[in-house]
Amino acid sequence: GEDVEQSLFLSVREGDSSVINCTYTDSSSTYLYWYKQEPGAGLQLLTYIFSNMDMKQDQRLTVLLNKKDKHLSLRIADTQTGDSAIYFCAELYSSASKIIFGSGTRLSIRP
């Protein structure tokens, strides 16, 4: 079946690293994504990773992919208050005509 699972909440101290985890089900997914949703806004693509990669780094963001365990993570270094949002993990389903989203992880930053 199609399912992408994430924990619902994460709270971190400002300046610390945030790690948001995700598991997915479609082993033939070719692309996996992280989207960010700020309050009242749409979904913004943060980064994506090809399934033949283990890691991708983009400034403060690091994506790790464990294809064997179907586990994806997003690490945000030096978390800032502006990083407060809901982060959605998503996979390009094997049919390639749709992206399936997880339920989102709400990241809150404490001072």
Helices (H), the chain: none
Q: Which is nearer to another protein, 5 or 78 (CB)?
A: 5
Q: Which is nearer to another protein, 19 or 96 (CB)?
A: 96
Provide the pairing of β-strand 4-6 with 18-24.
antiparallel
Which residues are registered as beta bridge partners of 61? Answer: 58, 76
**How many residues sit in the footprint of another protein (CB under 8 A)?**
23
Q: Based on the shown chain and the rule CB under 8 A, indicate whether residue 74 belongs to the binding site for another protein.
A: no
Q: Based on the shown chain and the rule CB under 8 A, indicate whether residue 12 belongs to the binding site for another protein.
A: no
The distance of closest approach from Cβ of residue 97 to another protein in the complex, given in angstroms and rounded to an integer, is 4
Give the contacts of 74 (CB within 8 A, at least 6 positions apart).
18, 19, 20, 22, 34, 46, 47, 61, 62, 63, 87, 89
Q: Based on the shown chain and the rule CB under 8 A, indicate whether residue 53 belongs to the binding site for another protein.
A: no
* Range in contact with another protein (rule: CB under 8 A) among 13-21, 41-49, 52-60, 69-77: 41-49
Which residues are registered as beta bridge partners of 109? Answer: 12
Binding site for another protein (CB under 8 A): 4, 30-31, 33, 40-45, 48, 88, 92, 95-104
